[in-house]
Amino acid sequence: MQGERSLHIGIIMDGNGRWGTQQGLSRIKGHTAGAKRVKEIVKYVGTTGVTVLTIWAFSNDNWKRNKKEVSALMALFGTYIQQEADELYSSNVKVLFIGERKSLATKLQKAMNDLEEQTRNNTGLILQVALNYGGSDELIRAVSKMKEENIEVSKETIADALDTADIPDPDIVIRTGMPASEGKLSLWRSSGFMPIQSLQSVCVSTEVLWPDFTSEHLEEIIKYAKLETRLFGGQRV
């Protein structure tokens, strides 16, 4: 895949809890396995023509889950950031977080801010982590910001007010852990993942649960998605 046109890929990492249950483990163990998979996929993507990878780590709807599971997830996020910070920096990965931060623990917010600052000048893969993120919430925050700053509404100003300002829209959005027929790729639902940014994205789902999702699966999906001819404003790309 070296030398191919740069791509922004978004991934809804679904199936961690189910994976843990299927393995006879706890849902938390499934999330831990999912975090390990993130590391492997980020490392692989850094060797390809992909320039931006956005992963949805935690939806703002996930607060409705079991409190013990949510607490374990928050601890896992903090541990992952601390453990991977230096490697992400040395691998020239630039890390950005999108989503509402104020309701997160102060310690976690600091870890997120520190990692963004540490990798701010890196020029390789941009890893965008959606944490406490929801598309509707993002749009409300964007509109509120525009109203507060008296910004005139336009397509461009809305884009600038979103969490993803200055980041190109995703070319491909993938959702793992979606039921499929005979292991084939199938229809999907977005659950509010980057609704404005993904208007022109090719959307693909796979029944493979996130902890089992490999670089081979990702490469297959990229090839599959790029078979789709998209039409933007009368010009095929």
Residues designated as active site: 14, 62
* Closest-CA residue to 176 (of 227, 138, 214, 202): 214
Q: Cβ of 146: how many Cβ atoms within 10 Å? A: 17
H helix and E strand count, the chain: 7, 8
Alpha-carbon span 149 to 185, nearest angstrom: 44
Residue that has been written with the tokens 């963004």 in this structure: 116
CA-to-CA dists, residue 156 to 22, 145, 153, angstroms = 45, 14, 8
Report residue 131: phi and psi, to 5°: -125, 125
Report residue 236: phi and psi, to 5°: -80, 140
Alpha-carbon span 105 to 78, nearest angstrom: 10
